[in-house]
Structure 1
Amino acid sequence: MQKRNTYTEIEDFLSDESFQSWILLKIDENGWEEWTLENRQRAKLVEDARHLLLAMKVPESDLSLSDIHRALQKTWLKIEEKENHINFIENSRALFVRKYFYSGIAASLFLCLLSVWFYKSSVKADNVVTYKELIDENSEGLVEQTNNSNKPQIITLSDGSSVLLQPNSKLSYPKIFTGNERKVYLSGEGFFEISKNPKKPFYVYANEIVTKVVGTSFRVKAYSDQPDVEVLVRTGKVKVRSNDLVAKSDQQEVILLPNQALRFLRSDLKFKKITNITQDEDLVNSIGNIEQLSFEFTDIPVSQIFETIEQAYLVDIDYPKDKLKDCHLTTSLSDQPLTEKLKIVCKSIGTNTNFEMNGNQVIITSSGCN
Structure 2
Amino acid sequence: MKPYETYSVHDFLTDDLFLAWIKSDEPEARQFWLSFMEQHPHRRSELLLAKDIAETLYRRPRPLSDAQVQREVGQIMRLTDRAEATGLGHPLYRRVLRYPVLLVASVLLVGLGIWSGWQWQRALHILENDPIATTSLGKGQAGWVSQTNGTSQPVSLTLPDGSRVVLQPNSQARYQKAFSQTHREVWLTGDATFAVVYDPARPFLVRNGSLVTRVLGTRFRVHAPTNGARVTVSVLSGKVSVYDQRDLTSARRQQSRQLPGVILTANQQVVYDPERISYQKELVPKPSLIRPDVPPETFDFQDTPVSVVFERLQKNYGVTIQYDAALLRPCTLTASLAGVSLHDQLGLICASIGATYQIVDTQIVISGRGCL
Length-normalised TM-score, structure 1: 0.41
Length-normalised TM-score, structure 2: 0.41
Q: Which has the larger radius of gyration?
A: 1
Determine which structure has greater relative contact order: mean sequence separation of CA pairs < 8 Å that are 6+ residues apart, divided by chain length: 1
